[in-house]
Structure 1
Amino acid sequence: MEQTQTPQMIAQQLVAGDTTTVRAYVKSGQPWIWLTAAAISVAFITTVALLGLTAARGLPHFWPADLLQARYEQPGAAPVPMLAEVRSSEEVTAARLLDAGLPVDPQRDLYERLLLKIGNRDIGGVDFRYVVSDWLVDRQTPADAVVLERIEWGNFHGFLDAVVVDGNSVAGSEAWSAYQQAQRRVDALRGDIRRIEKKQIGAINYELERLRLQARRLEIDGKTRESHPEAFAPLDRRRDEQGAKYEALRAELNALNRDIRRDSVRVRTVDGQQRTIALAQLVHGYRPNRMGVLDKTLHFFGKVWEFVSDEPREANTEGGIFPAIFGTVLMVMIMSIVVTPFGILAALYLREYAHQGAMTRAIRIAVNNLAGVPSIVFGMFGLGFFVYFLGGGIDRLFYPEAAPAPVFGTPGILWASLTLALLTLPVVIVATEEGLARIPRATREASLALGATKAETLWRVVLPMASPAMMTGLILAIARAAGEVAPLMLVGVVKLAPTLPIDGNFPFIHFERKFMHLGFHIYDVGFQSPNVEAARPLVYATSFLLVLVVVLLNVSAIMIRNRLRERYKALDH
């Protein structure tokens, strides 16, 4: 039996001058197998490291850090009391601190610098500050320190003095439990207000706008209230009904707004400043220095859930990113529905019907070159063709009553999906055509010999066997489309979308609406945010979530592909 040559044995033979065995080893292809394995290992390790980095930089943002109370005594300046979270620490050189104008000892090599989240941006103007660790003295972690997350102005760091509930002040040891009860009540009221404003009043406004456009359409057709009162009467009746509903909801909404502004808290900063904050302005409150590991873990998962299920606020540096997740997934689904049949039909024509001559080769070259065109070029094409030409034409033909306001003649999720479908079409075509080419010719001939037509053979034999390759093309298309940003900036994505493309108003899916996207959200928070330090962890957290969304979409497609592959594996032999 021939002995298997190991890399160690080959190395020894090479040192001994036995080049014959080395050449045989190279010809066997084993070195290329090892190189391929090494490349795959490097790619896998790099991917895992990238995911680990984004998770390590982003997820700690949701962990409730302890509040450190200390006094900052910078030489030559008055002491400043602080109550802050320690976000990060780093070693910096004395020369760097001297360049910043800090009075440090130039003979000393390194200093520790801390990044503190001091909160209270409405008082100090900033909520982050770098300090030199040596000058932060008299450190302690007071148990009664509180963090209050506000709708505006970020977090408040301080101490809770009293809670005013229905005009009655609760102070002392009962203040915190009174605050928690009052906050739960305010949260319930806030949910009722959001339901009335976004769903019920939003539906009424949507219906009133439809009635206005219908009346405008009658006027365009030459009908007036004097000449055709019977045409306008149903519209007026429905408008009156919607107006009555609106008045009732407005009265209920006014009552809820008065009720939610009833309670407040009296708080105190670390330097003794008194503040009164309405509970309607607070999202959440907690005392991190009294929380155990279990409480902090529950708080962490609660904040992660808020991040993936809530709407953004404070210039996208606070709150959640649910609209961006929803927009990304919906756009990818619409793109997949559009690109899959067109890609399969194009590949089917090129492989099964087209004459394999110079023209077909030119088409294949054009398809391959199309995959290398910069994505921003597709965005420009989508803006010019889909939005201005196609969308503007639809508005002129079917929505003249909306003029001059555009309906489909403006960037929206439909045009963004079509643009990305065009961008990813070459990937689907190439992958599908490769799958069709791998099907043995004998399989086609056997189907034809049994009396099936060519169309029946393609539909019942060829396409099912090529379906794993089709899914491979779709997987690659999803992976690319979910992360694209440049073309979307021109054809539909926005910084903040007030309404989702899907809601309870007819026709329920609104293809003309603009939408949010995770990739653009990362760009906006990372490069356009006015609060850089608050945005930095959200950039990592959103990047990590985008990767998870892409992985989830790809895993779903891979599972379908594997099932198809197992189903039609027997037909390959």
Structure 2
Amino acid sequence: MKNWFRSGTPWIWLTGGAVALCLVMVIGVVGLIAVRGLSHFWPAPVIAVEIENLQTGEMRRVLGPISRTETVPAQVAADAGNYIPEDRLDTLVTRYLFRVGNRDQFGADFVWHTDLGMREFEYPAQVLELERREWGNFYGYPEALLVDGEEVLTADHPDFLPGLKDLVERSLVLHDDIRQIERGEVGEINRQMEQLRRELRRLDLNDVTGMARTEEEARVAAERARLDAEYDELRADLDELYASTRRDTLRMRMSDDRTVSIPLAQVVRVTQPNNMSVPAKMVEYMDRFWTFVTDEPREANTEGGIFPALFGTVTMVIVMSIMVTPFGVLAAIYLREYARQGPITRAVRISVYNLAGVPSIVFGVFGLGFFVYFLGGNIDQLFFPEALPRPTFGSPGLFWASLTLALLTLPVVIVSTEEGLARIPSTIRQGSLALGATKSETLWKVVVPLSTPAMMTGLILAIARAAGEVAPLMLVGVVKLAPSLPIDGNFPYIHLERQFMHLGFHIYDVGFQSPNVEAARPLVYATALVLILLIIVLNLTAISIRNHLREKYRSETD
């Protein structure tokens, strides 16, 4: 046994077991997130069940899919507001969380019910699930389609569902047209009007008087009149489109036999889950997930998609990488190759190491005070005085968030690059010098290319940390909702001064600030899964580049 311990075999097994345990834990966590997140998009069956109130004897009909099921002590259910007979308080009961939807009618779209007094589950084929822009999902029995208040199709007509989907598709096209006009053409008019306001403000700041001011004011007035006329035309087009969206309605009957008319302009998707085959559900599943990735959020981020947050995260990481890589590499090269190794250099190196341990929120406070208020405020004073008091760069935005994260991850890049430079054999340096190359040529043409894999390692670690940071971003640019992307057709096309959305902050907001916790729960898992996959893709891309560089310079040195 003593010889066995001396051989080191136990430590090899211990290390292997620890690695295996870590892998199992990581795979388990990612698997849990994937199962709970991806299951949200599957068209769940809609259940209709009658429940007897054991206290009053009244019957209530509930309609909706089951979101969760759990077995709890009866006393726990009683404390939660469910009536439990006294002779059943010492037993276990099963309770179901029904997503009844219809929040505008019922007040809450998630309701707990115990199995006491519950009848058999039914799965009516004619039940419709409507995904709406507001008030969450609607579950009910269709009765008729109405156009301009007149019935055109009843629910028992064989063309009812195809006709309904066609009208919903029409409303979606109209909605896209309205959004294009409001955000595109009307937004362009507003931008030009703001530019004209700044031109008049610039006249005041430059003390322009006389004929030059009169001519400029006349030109601005004529341009404003032209823009006002264009806006009036767009306003008329919008009024016509809005009137078209109010044309179609759907009459539905709820579980309590009340009839409700739903404007199709508020409907995003129509499905009949209980009447769908498995292949149809798989197609619907993929379409819902694709919509989740490519659409904008709705309903306080508890509905819709995450594309603005996904786009903002990728853009921020790319901008951060562009800024942190040259500064980190140059700083490491100076500390390793040029700086005299003395007390000052050691103090700087120790400071860099300690900087890696500073809490990220401290970087956020520093970024807000120095980058946003000091640098951004002075940039506004020097280059955008006509826009004040509305700040341009003097407010949190994408550029300041990226710069703050670049400062946060700078120590990682410096340390990795220094380690890569230190691993280059001295014989390679000596051989280059012996062939007549200068120290500078040896460094930039031999040493630095050979250390690029280590630089890429630092960049990989920086990307992995920056993509998941939330605390500093809350202070320097990220917001709850920013559906307009920081890229458009107006010069300079990439607007780094704008605020943006981030997947990490989106998870925090949906998980802890949402007014509808049950509706937000699956979206938290789904967004977390997308963030994990994004980090994996970014890291794999950087790793592939690093491996390519490593093989390239290895073959050259061989």
So what's the TM-score if we normalise by structure 2?
Answer: 0.96
Find the aligned partners of 1:543 and 1:23 in 2 and give their Cα distance: 43
> Are positions 1:147 and 2:129 aligned together?
yes
Partner residue, 2:91: 109
**Contact 2:127-2:140 at 8 Å conserved across structures:** yes
Pairing partner for 1:479 from 464, 470, 492: 464
Pairing partner for 1:539 from 486, 507, 524: 524
Partner residue, 2:444: 459
Report the aligned-residue RMSD: 1.6
> Are positions 1:94 and 2:94 aligned together?
no
Pairing partner for 1:350 from 312, 316, 335: 335
322-331 or 447-456: which moved more? 447-456
Gaps of 5+ in 2: none
Alpha-carbon distance, 1:45 to partner: 1.4
Pairing partner for 2:371 from 386, 392, 396: 386
Alpha-carbon distance, 1:572 to partner: 5.2
482-491 or 356-365: which moved more? 356-365
> Are positions 1:67 and 2:51 aligned together?
no
1:72-99 Cα deviation digits (max 9, x unpaired) = 1131132211111011111101232233
Partner residue, 1:82: 62
What pairs with 1:345-494 in structure 2 (closer than 5 Å)? 345-494=330-479
Alpha-carbon distance, 1:107 to partner: 6.1
Partner residue, 2:248: 263
The code of the aligned residue for 2:15 comes to T
1:149-197 Cα deviation digits (max 9, x unpaired) = 1111111110110001355411132332221111111111111111111
Find the aligned partners of 1:107 and 1:351 in 2 and give their Cα distance: 73
Partner SS state of residue 149, structure 1: strand
**Contact 1:119-1:126 at 8 Å conserved across structures:** yes
The code of the aligned residue for 2:266 comes to Q
Alpha-carbon distance, 1:52 to partner: 0.5
Partner SS state of residue 439, structure 1: coil
Partner residue, 2:22: 43
Identical counterparts, % of pairs: 55
1:114-139 Cα deviation digits (max 9, x unpaired) = 11100111111000011112322142
> Are positions 1:58 and 2:37 aligned together?
yes
When residues 99 and 279 of structure 1 are mapped into structure 2, their CA distance, relative to the original with a 3 A threshold, is closer
Alpha-carbon distance, 1:246 to partner: 2.4
Find the aligned partners of 2:328 and 2:282 in 1 and give their Cα distance: 47
The code of the aligned residue for 1:287 comes to Q
**Contact 1:439-1:572 at 8 Å conserved across structures:** no
1:424-446 Cα deviation digits (max 9, x unpaired) = 00000000100010011121222
Alpha-carbon distance, 1:362 to partner: 1.1
Alpha-carbon distance, 1:354 to partner: 0.7
Alpha-carbon distance, 1:389 to partner: 0.6
Partner SS state of residue 569, structure 1: helix
Find the aligned partners of 1:232 and 1:416 in 2 and give their Cα distance: 39
Find the aligned partners of 2:445 and 2:500 in 1 and give their Cα distance: 39
Alpha-carbon distance, 1:40 to partner: 2.1
502-511 or 466-475: which moved more? 502-511
340-349 or 187-196: which moved more? 187-196
**Contact 1:146-1:159 at 8 Å conserved across structures:** yes
1:181-230 Cα deviation digits (max 9, x unpaired) = 11111111111111111122212211221221122112211124755233
Find the aligned partners of 1:41 and 1:352 in 2 and give their Cα distance: 40
Find the aligned partners of 1:55 and 1:265 in 2 and give their Cα distance: 36
**Contact 1:206-1:505 at 8 Å conserved across structures:** no
Partner SS state of residue 284, structure 1: strand
Find the aligned partners of 1:438 and 1:563 in 2 and give their Cα distance: 19
Pairing partner for 1:554 from 521, 534, 539: 539
When residues 97 and 393 of structure 1 are mapped into structure 2, their CA distance, relative to the original with a 3 A threshold, is same
Find the aligned partners of 1:570 and 1:89 in 2 and give their Cα distance: 60
**Contact 1:309-1:320 at 8 Å conserved across structures:** yes
**Contact 2:74-2:84 at 8 Å conserved across structures:** no
When residues 451 and 242 of structure 1 are mapped into structure 2, their CA distance, relative to the original with a 3 A threshold, is farther
1:446-488 Cα deviation digits (max 9, x unpaired) = 2222222222222211111111100000000000000000111
139-148 or 448-457: which moved more? 448-457
The code of the aligned residue for 2:84 comes to P
Partner SS state of residue 7, structure 2: helix
Pairing partner for 1:162 from 144, 160, 174: 144
1:267-308 Cα deviation digits (max 9, x unpaired) = 110111111111111111111100010111111111101111
Partner residue, 2:489: 504
**Contact 1:160-1:176 at 8 Å conserved across structures:** no
Alpha-carbon distance, 1:544 to partner: 0.7
When residues 416 and 505 of structure 1 are mapped into structure 2, their CA distance, relative to the original with a 3 A threshold, is same
Partner SS state of residue 121, structure 2: strand
> Are positions 1:318 and 2:294 aligned together?
no
Gaps of 5+ in 1: 1-13
**Contact 1:336-1:478 at 8 Å conserved across structures:** yes
Find the aligned partners of 1:261 and 1:377 in 2 and give their Cα distance: 51
359-368 or 222-231: which moved more? 222-231
The code of the aligned residue for 2:122 comes to Q
Partner SS state of residue 452, structure 1: coil
Partner SS state of residue 148, structure 1: strand
Find the aligned partners of 2:98 and 2:80 in 1 and give their Cα distance: 18
**Contact 1:165-1:182 at 8 Å conserved across structures:** no
**Contact 2:50-2:61 at 8 Å conserved across structures:** yes
Partner SS state of residue 142, structure 2: strand
Find the aligned partners of 1:35 and 1:363 in 2 and give their Cα distance: 38
518-527 or 178-187: which moved more? 178-187
**Contact 2:296-2:483 at 8 Å conserved across structures:** no
Find the aligned partners of 2:137 and 2:89 in 1 and give their Cα distance: 39
Alpha-carbon distance, 1:556 to partner: 0.9
**Contact 2:103-2:136 at 8 Å conserved across structures:** yes
Pairing partner for 2:287 from 302, 316, 325: 302
**Contact 1:408-1:512 at 8 Å conserved across structures:** yes
Find the aligned partners of 1:281 and 1:353 in 2 and give their Cα distance: 66
When residues 225 and 319 of structure 1 are mapped into structure 2, their CA distance, relative to the original with a 3 A threshold, is farther
205-214 or 30-39: which moved more? 30-39
Partner residue, 1:10: none
Partner SS state of residue 228, structure 1: helix
**Contact 2:295-2:304 at 8 Å conserved across structures:** yes
**Contact 2:181-2:234 at 8 Å conserved across structures:** yes
